Structure 1
Amino acid sequence: MNASKFAAVSTFALLAAFANVAAHADEADGSQYAGQATGQRTRAEVKAEAVAATGDRSQDLAALGNVAVHSTTTRAEVRAQAAKALRLGQISSGEAGAM
């Protein structure tokens, strides 16, 4: 008698749990809050505007004051300076270097 009551109660609990999950299944993605965007321009117009906006940006960089700097230091000198700084402990080495 106790086993049949236990089986009935556990079956009822499982059915209630599944019903609860099924009732709230659509709330996980938030699709009911998705907005609909409507525009006045066609896809081709937007694409043409994007292509026109990605033109030559070299003039923009020059206007910001970004100019190319040419170094007089050779690669060997830079490597020697880096090796010296590493030996003196001025720079860290490897992935576990102190910041």
Structure 2
Amino acid sequence: MNAKPLIVLAAFASIAAGAARADDIDPSQQFALQIQSTRTRAEVQAEAARVPTTRSTEPAGSRVHPVLQSNTQVSDVRAEAVQAVRLGQISRGEASM
């Protein structure tokens, strides 16, 4: 029951908006015909042909970093982490300082 007035209001608003924008563009100006270029078609095509050689097609941030080599064993790192938790140097689980 409450949706009917909203639908009528929305329909009226869209009709009013369409009527208000009906005469925004002046057809006598013909914007596309007013453009004058100082460059030739061949110059533009030559520039367009150079673009692929000067730009990267790789999206920004898509590179994967190489795997870093380390002499440290996983077991040594885990043992150090366990020792740090025992000494209270780092928090454990969801506990925070």
TM-score range, shorter chain: 0.3 to 0.5
* Structure with higher helix content: 1
TM-score by length of 2: 0.37
TM-score, normalization: structure 1?
0.36
